[in-house]
Amino acid sequence: QQQVKQSPQSLIVQKGGIPIINCAYENTAFDYFPWYQQFPGKGPALLIAIRPDVSEKKEGRFTISFNKSAKQFSLHIMDSQPGDSATYFCAASRPTNTGNQFYFGTGTSLTVIP
Amino acid sequence: DTGVSQDPRHKITKRGQNVTFRCDPISEHNRLYWYRQTLGQGPEFLTYFQNEAQLEKSRLLSDRFSAERPKGSFSTLEIQRTEQGDSAMYLCASSLSYYRDSSGNTIYFGEGSWLTVV
């Protein structure tokens, strides 16, 4: 069972456009929602993260919007650049008795056309 | 801070052979995770250590898989009698555990170890 559902699977935008990637979850025990960026052949790198007590977080050109009641969150990339072309994963984490368990979405492949 | 280091980066092996991957976490991190990632999928949790104790294992981790973290520093993941279905990228990640909620315990991934079983 996929704990975090991510869409779309792939996305193509023109340079300067604002791609939006959406994720949804069901488990209200999740208390932390990071996004990772992955380039081909590399491991995922932390991009930006949010806690459910805030509705929006911005870091540079990247913004997370969080809707706690709808159990949805999304990543917006402002003024997208060809160098942003990568696969993006959303994740959700919850504390457990033995640590923190992270669950990942299936990823969105973003292509930014020059 | 040198980040999470994994070795080897790529391994091609024949079906039935054993392989071992090594992970060196970020030095002050006491938690270490192993994930598996196949093409077009997100990372899937395999197992997790806090210091030297293996605290959780996924059902994905069959009897052919074993992980160790003998001194609470580096970890190894061994796959015995490899099968073609084991072909994937094996990701190691590490984090701190000083916070009661998840936000302070962000996991940081290594570059991954690609396994191809032929």
The predicted-structure confidence for B74-91, as pLDDT tens digits, reads as follows 999 999 999 999 999 999
Cα separation values, A83 from A38, A46, A80, A88, B82, Å: 12, 16, 8, 13, 37
pLDDT per residue, tens digit, chain A (114 aa), is 789 999 999 999 999 999 999 999 999 999 999 999 999 989 999 999 999 899 999 999 999 999 999 999 999 999 999 999 999 999 999 888 777 889 999 999 999 999
Q: How confident is the model at residue B1 (pLDDT cuts 50, 70, 90)?
A: low
How far is it, in rounded angstroms, from Cα A36 to Cα A32? 13
Q: Which of B23, B102, B107 to mutate to test the interface with A (most CBs of A within 10 A)?
A: B102
Q: Cβ–Cβ of A43/B109 closer than 8 Å?
A: yes
Decide: B57 and B69 in contact? Cβ < 8 Å.
Answer: no
What's the pLDDT at B102?
61
Whether the predicted pLDDT of B100 surpasses 70: no
